[in-house]
Amino acid sequence: MRWYNIDYDISPAITQEGDGDLRTKEIYDRGLEYLAAGKYEDAIREFKQATKLMPSFADAYCGLGLAYTKTGKLDEAIITIKQAFTYRPDYPEAHYALGHLFVEQKQYDKAFDSFEMATRYNPKYAEAYLELGHLYVRRVKFDAAKNSFKKAIKYKPKYVDAHYALGLFNLKMNRLDEAVTSFKSTMKYKPDMALAHYNLALVYLKKDDRDSALKVCETVKGIDAQLAEKLLEVINSQETPPSSTF
């Protein structure tokens, strides 16, 4: 569920009192529980039942779409999530989920449009800005990519993935001082992220600061011995490979 968190807020139609509404909510909640437990077929059954009981329940369509995604049924997932827009066109989480599905299918233009819609309906949607940043890099629109990564951090200051993405971006652009800042911010919020340390060491190598790279390597040893060994080989060879990974 890393890339898409189901909206736990129940839609207005289900907040009205009534035995049928409560039953639908219970079924939907069971679907969420099955989804979290990796019981995807059970989740599909519950979400389908929720949509039968309340056809306008947009959240249930999103849950069903995610369950289909987890079982590899991407076409069904796209169709199902799109159904949510019939009842809630301004549903940012659904647009975000759809964007990821299009990325899985390498339909990057459609993915871009979906993530943009997500930010239109939720201008502070940090996760959507992060994905837009990656897609701007694919489009070789580097200023826009940087702005998107920064927006993700602006709206979610402790967002580790956004700090890391900005660090990799700055390393790719050879903005070494900015890369150091970004990777250190990443490690501030996730000290045991070995790849952030690894890439920080690569930055130091590009800055001809071998001593600092070696110090970072010592830290990596306590997190990921195999990665530390790889990093030490790089340091000793004085060759700086591409960042890992953008």
Is residue 159 within 8 Å of 130, Cβ to Cβ? yes
Residue 3 structure tokens: 């890339």
User: What per-residue confidence (pLDDT) applies to 240?
Assistant: 56
If one counts every other C-beta atom within 10 angstroms of the C-beta of residue 175, the result is 17
Q: Which residue has the tokens 């195999």?
A: 226
Listed in sequence order, the residues at least 6 apart from 136 whose beta carbon sits closer than 8 Å to its beta carbon are: 142, 144, 145, 148
Say what the pTM is: 0.85
User: What per-residue confidence (pLDDT) applies to 5?
Assistant: 45
If one counts every other C-beta atom within 10 angstroms of the C-beta of residue 238, the result is 9
User: pLDDT by residue (tens digit) across 136-169?
Assistant: 999 999 999 999 999 999 999 999 999 999 999 9
User: pLDDT by residue (tens digit) across 170-185?
Assistant: 999 999 999 999 999 9
Hey, where are the domains in the chain? 158-246
Per-residue confidence of the chain (246 residues) as pLDDT tens digits?
333 444 333 333 444 444 458 889 999 999 999 999 999 999 999 999 999 999 999 999 999 999 999 999 999 999 999 999 999 999 999 999 999 999 999 999 999 999 999 999 999 999 999 999 999 999 999 999 999 999 999 999 999 999 999 999 999 999 999 999 999 999 999 999 999 999 999 999 999 999 999 999 999 999 999 999 999 999 998 755 556 555
Give 158-246's CATH code, choosing from 3.90.1150.10, 1.10.260.40, 2.40.10.10, 1.25.40.10.
1.25.40.10
